[in-house]
């Protein structure tokens, strides 16, 4: 079984087991205390995944779930989430991600390649705290419209409160993807090769990237936070071998940015 397949199975078991435990409790699952976190991120990042030129962009931050018994760690890398299980030490549920379209109007390096349509990814996530200062999280998502593949992201973040309102955090990241994902973003068929001048390339699935990320987070008020973050990732496997990256891009991908979030608490 491929790495993406193994992660899919583990996430499915974790989410379904947690949801079963939640339904076994008294009362409706919907009743109780909930939270909604909304915000935005502004960042300087490559003009496309695998690109070597940088531009300024923005993306939303949304997280919804049942309030747990203790404060939790969150990261800018966490995609839109709905927690079905949250007991403070373990959290699991549904996740999703918006994907913007990509075409030759975004970068000269993409001329001659078929456009990637806008769409999204939906799936599940599982996170836990092996210690009071470390969180591990995995997401498995399937593409909708933009691509028809799977993407699995795994991250671990150590965090430390320098003051009651300032926290530093950071740790490793690793990402896997299936052949259908790589084909959409990194593949070059015969027709595209003629139109673009790139070498023909038909990728398989496997490791997508490894890297490190870190952040400094400031609790402005009880419900509001602001963050300065930086990320580095190195494309691996089918992504690094793509003619798009080898001939016109860069395996080394950097990102720096700021984000702000606001948390709303409510009861159902």
128 pLDDT above the threshold of 90 = yes
When pLDDT is cut at 50, 70 and 90, the band that residue 71 belongs to is: low
CA-CA distance, 220 to 261, in Å (whole number)? 10
- The DSSP line for 160-199 is EEEETTEEEEEEEEEEEE-HHHHHHHH-B-HHHHHHH-PP
Residue with more model confidence, 182 or 9: 182
Q: What's the mean pLDDT when you consider all of the chain?
A: 87
Cβ 175 vs Cβ 139: under 8 Å: no
Please give the average per-residue pLDDT across 223-232, as a whole number: 95
- Work out the percent of the chain whose per-residue pLDDT is above 90: 68
Structure tokens given for 209: 């990237």
More reliable by pLDDT, 222 or 42: 42
**Residue 261, pLDDT above cutoff 50:** yes
The whole-angstrom separation of Cα 211 and Cα 229 is: 14
Check: CB of residue 153 under 8 Å from CB of residue 136: no
- Residue 101 pLDDT level (bands cut at 50, 70, 90): very high
The domain spanning residue 162 has which CATH number? 2.40.230
**88: which residues sit within 8 A by CB, 6+ positions away?**
68, 69, 70, 72
User: What average pLDDT does the segment 190-196 reach?
Assistant: 96
Q: Number of structural domains, the chain? A: 1
- The CA distance from 181 to 101, in Å, is 14
Q: Average pLDDT in the 225-229 region?
A: 95
Tell me what the mean pLDDT of segment 114-130 comes to: 96
For the residues 105-128, what does the mean pLDDT come to?
A: 95
Give which of 217, 229, 216 is closest to 261, Cα–Cα: 217
**CB-based contact 260:215 (threshold 8 Å):** no
Reply yes or no on whether the pLDDT at 6 is more than 50: no
Segment 104-110 shows an average pLDDT of 92
pLDDT value at residue 27: 58
Q: Please give the residue range of the domain that contains residue 172.
A: 3-267
- Quick: pLDDT tens for 7-64: 444 444 444 444 444 444 445 667 778 888 888 999 999 999 999 999 998 888 887 7
User: What letter would DSSP give residue 30?
Assistant: T
């Amino acid at each position: 079984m491929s790495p993406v397949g193994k992660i899919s199975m583990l996430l499915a078991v974790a989410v379904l087991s947690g949801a079963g435990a939640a339904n076994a409790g008294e009362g409706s699952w919907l009743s109780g205390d909930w939270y909604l976190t909304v915000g935005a991120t502004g960042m300087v990042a490559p003009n496309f995944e695998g690109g070597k030129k940088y531009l300024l962009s923005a993306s939303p931050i949304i997280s919804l779930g049942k309030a747990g018994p203790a404060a939790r760690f969150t990261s800018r890398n966490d995609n839109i989430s709905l927690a079905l299980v949250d007991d403070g030490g373990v959290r699991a549920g549904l996740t999703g991600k918006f994907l913007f379209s990509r075409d030759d109007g975004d970068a000269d390096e993409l001329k001659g390649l078929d456009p990637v349509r806008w769409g999204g990814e939906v799936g599940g996530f599982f996170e836990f705290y092996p210690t009071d200062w470390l969180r591990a999280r995995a997401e498995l998502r399937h593409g909708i419209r933009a691509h028809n593949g799977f993407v699995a992201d795994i991250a671990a973040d150590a965090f430390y409160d320098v003051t009651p309102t300032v926290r530093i955090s950071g740790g490793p990241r690793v990402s896997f993807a299936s052949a259908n994902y790589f084909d959409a973003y990194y593949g070059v068929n015969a027709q595209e090769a003629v139109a673009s001048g790139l070498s023909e390339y038909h990728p398989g699935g496997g490791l997508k990237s490894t890297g490190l990320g870190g952040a400094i987070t400031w609790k402005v008020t009880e419900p509001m936070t602001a963050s300065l973050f930086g990320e580095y990732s190195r494309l691996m496997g089918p992504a690094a071998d793509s003619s798009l990256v080898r001939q016109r891009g860069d395996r080394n991908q950097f990102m720096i940015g700021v984000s702000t979030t606001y948390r709303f608490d409510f009861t159902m």
